[in-house]
Structure 1
Amino acid sequence: METTATTYDYDYDNYSDDPTTLVAPCNRDVDNYVGAQLSILYYFMFLFNLVGNGLVLTIIYRFEKVTTVTNILLLNLATSSLIFMSSLPFLGVYVQLSDWIFGNVMCKIVGTVYYLGFYSSVLFLTLLTFDRHLAVVYSLSTSRMRNRSYAFVSCLAVWSISSLACIKPMILHTTFVNYINNNTYCQEYPGDFPSIDVSQVRRCGFYIQLFLFFLFPLATIVYSYIRIAVTVMSSKLVTRFKTVKLVFIIVMLFFICWTPFNIVLLMHDGSPNCEQERKRSYALHVTRNFAYVYFCVSPILYTFVGKKFQTYFRRLIMKRLPQSKRYLTSSRYSRSNMSTKSTAY
């Protein structure tokens, strides 16, 4: 659906406390049209995430006990990904119409759900990566520490930090009306709120986003996978090259999908002109979709790389589709033969 409404870039200095008193100096039709076309992907991401993470949760529930650290973290990662993706259909409609039609209460809810899922997904990915680093590099010395209490405390800390980080969008996200085209917007209100130092809240939100949800996860993931790669390469495992290749793919996906979005998101200019804001908007529309794709596939990627989960998946398929049993069994036998031959060298 094409965007029929006109959206604008607003000048913060020209706002009053009245949300209907808006100044619209910069027409943003073109870049918002691009965003509206790309937002069609939100619906496909939501459906793919619903099926993929639903499958992850089903396998953990049916075949695994939620007692191991890895399963507890995977369960929380899949849940946070589902929370995040549940906001995308609403955002897709909003971007395509350039008009929020769901009311102020849903604006607050969707904005909070978006950031809660967004922040918790980043931290759970970081925690899961660091836990794998502990399991591989310090397998013996950390075996006692990596218990259910450690997992529950870690997950509680992630949800608490993510919830606290949502205070800013809970305060600043609201609906307001553009008096020029009578469209309703649902986003961070650029004006001032009574009894709230909005500039201080925005500044704190900026640094929290920069350090806690970008630099810290990036440094932790890179460090953890470097240590994992070094440990695996120095061992005598037959599958070490396959493991290192997988590690490289995961790290590269994180860089490609996550880093550009954060760089564009954190670009801050005190007084950008209209053309600069259009260019930044184009970049945001493209890089945002790459970041969403990573959040969409990461729980599935972290889960199904393990042979145990692949076996559970085959068992689930064969139970639901008995006619596939012959194909899956022969395919598994062929891969086993190939693996046996390759270990002879």
Structure 2
Amino acid sequence: MEASNNTTLSRCAELTYNTEDLLVVAIYILIGVSGLFGNVLVIYVILHSPKMKTVTNMYIFNLALSDLIFLLHIAMITTTMIVKQWIFGEAVCKIFFMTNAITVFSSALTLTSLSVDRYIAVCKPVISQKIRQPRKAAIVIMCVWFVSLLLSMPIILYAQRKENSGTYSCQVDWPDPTEIPAYIIYIFILGFAVPFCFISILYTSVIIHMKRAGPANRQRSTEQRKNHRKVTFLVLAIILVYVICWLPYWTFQIIIAVLDLYTASFSLPLFKVTTVLTFANSMINPVLYAFLSENFRQAFKEVFRSRCICRERIRYFLQTGDRNEVELDSTRRPGHVSNQTEAVSNEEDKTEGPQDGQTDNGGVYTGP
């Protein structure tokens, strides 16, 4: 018992925090709460607004879903930072790394699909109506998740909880440590570099095509061309923010893996900063939708407006319900109320006497 108490006290003594850790935890919580709210709102308006059910928005829905799952990891990261160990068990450790890897791949592949969709919509207007259909977009999205799962298999196999001096950690335990750089480069190439190359080529073609007003482009109405520019600019902004937030992370990961700088003094602070940036990307996306898309902005306003209207209606029904309950109660007990009222009326007659213009109600309660 005494040994147990000493162990507990020693662990409590280890739970010391510096300003850097507290700041990182606070930033994580801010990003997590804001990002979860924003992405849930995006998913809600796409599901509940008929005008938002477009092919492009199906990909945005999938991106918001990936961001939502990715942001859920913040709860486990911040808890581990606070208690200084992994407390969620072996199964959750595997789920943590599995969903993390899958969402990394799914986000990159979804952005690639968005770029392909924009390329077809702008550069191939003749076949656009045949190819850009909700059913085909749904098939593409399912393929994105399936491919993401396959690409994540190595990390799923080796993720596990490990014990060291009475504390637990969740990590990827590679059979051979020399495989770590190879796997990081593998994720970088398939989860960032290759999609980014495809996106760059497709968007370069889109921008060139939009600058050249060809015959097919001139046949479109001014409103159609304007809508295409707006959607294209929105998707381009999403991609640019993704690159800005993820490129520092992958650059840092490759440098420390190839040069074996894991024990360097700057490794941990840089890891925290670059990781926070990746989560910030998932928080920023809903903000981009709100500022750069008129349709999303109006849909968000309708959600908040409907919530205010519902709140007012509930308050109104509660108030009117109270009145109706009093009136209903009075009708349910006419004899009791009638006797009380008649007694009060007789008492008033005795004290004050009849007044001019007063009529007899026969002892029936009519309210004040």
| Residue number in structure 1 paired with 2:296 | 309
Which secondary structure does the structure 2 equivalent of 1:266 belong to?
helix
Q: Which has the higher helix share?
A: 2
| Residue number in structure 2 paired with 1:272 | 260
| Residue number in structure 1 paired with 2:330 | none
Q: Deviations over 1:120-156 (max 9, x none)?
A: 1222122123312221222223321122332122112
Letter in 2 for 1:210: F
1:93-242 equivalent positions in 2, closer than 5 A: 93-179=79-165, 182-189=166-173, 192=175, 198=176, 202=180, 205-235=183-213
CA shift for structure 1 position 104: 1.4
Letter in 2 for 1:75: F
Asked if structure 1 preserves the Cα contact closer than 8 Å seen for 2:28 and 2:74, the reply is yes
Asked if structure 2 preserves the Cα contact closer than 8 Å seen for 1:129 and 1:224, the reply is yes
Matches of 2:24 and 2:109 in 1, distance apart?
26
Q: Deviations over 1:213-258 (max 9, x none)?
A: 1111211222233333333334486969x85876764454233212
Letter in 2 for 1:87: H
Which secondary structure does the structure 2 equivalent of 1:100 belong to?
coil
CA shift for structure 1 position 304: 5.8
Are 1:54 and 2:40 counterparts?
yes
| Residue number in structure 1 paired with 2:59 | 73
Q: Deviations over 1:170-193 (max 9, x none)?
A: 2211111222xx321111125x3x
Which secondary structure does the structure 1 equivalent of 2:186 belong to?
helix
Letter in 2 for 1:257: C
Which secondary structure does the structure 1 equivalent of 2:85 belong to?
coil
Which secondary structure does the structure 1 equivalent of 2:161 belong to?
strand
Matches of 1:247 and 1:162 in 2, distance apart?
21
Closer/same/farther in 2, CA of residues 59 and 245 from structure 1, 3 Å limit: closer
Asked if structure 2 preserves the Cα contact closer than 8 Å seen for 1:225 and 1:251, the reply is no
Asked if structure 1 preserves the Cα contact closer than 8 Å seen for 2:256 and 2:262, the reply is no
Identity %: 23
Range 296-305 or range 255-264, more displaced: 296-305
Asked if structure 1 preserves the Cα contact closer than 8 Å seen for 2:104 and 2:191, the reply is no
Matches of 1:57 and 1:135 in 2, distance apart?
23
Letter in 2 for 1:288: T
- Structure 1 portions without partners, runs of 5+: 7-28, 193-197, 324-345
Which secondary structure does the structure 2 equivalent of 1:267 belong to?
helix
CA shift for structure 1 position 55: 1.0
Asked if structure 1 preserves the Cα contact closer than 8 Å seen for 2:32 and 2:72, the reply is yes
Which secondary structure does the structure 1 equivalent of 2:170 belong to?
strand
CA shift for structure 1 position 160: 0.8
Which secondary structure does the structure 2 equivalent of 1:321 belong to?
helix
Closer/same/farther in 2, CA of residues 61 and 4 from structure 1, 3 Å limit: farther
Which secondary structure does the structure 2 equivalent of 1:184 belong to?
strand
Which secondary structure does the structure 1 equivalent of 2:38 belong to?
helix
Matches of 1:72 and 1:221 in 2, distance apart?
18
Letter in 1 for 2:101: Y
Matches of 1:247 and 1:70 in 2, distance apart?
9
Letter in 2 for 1:98: K
Which secondary structure does the structure 2 equivalent of 1:177 belong to?
strand
Letter in 2 for 1:121: S
Asked if structure 1 preserves the Cα contact closer than 8 Å seen for 2:159 and 2:173, the reply is yes
Q: How many residues align?
A: 290
Matches of 1:61 and 1:130 in 2, distance apart?
23
Letter in 2 for 1:223: I
| Residue number in structure 2 paired with 1:343 | none
- Structure 2 portions without partners, runs of 5+: 1-11, 311-368
Are 1:258 and 2:242 counterparts?
no
Asked if structure 2 preserves the Cα contact closer than 8 Å seen for 1:120 and 1:162, the reply is yes
Structure whose CA Rg is larger: 2
Letter in 2 for 1:81: D
Matches of 1:189 and 1:70 in 2, distance apart?
39
CA shift for structure 1 position 269: 4.5
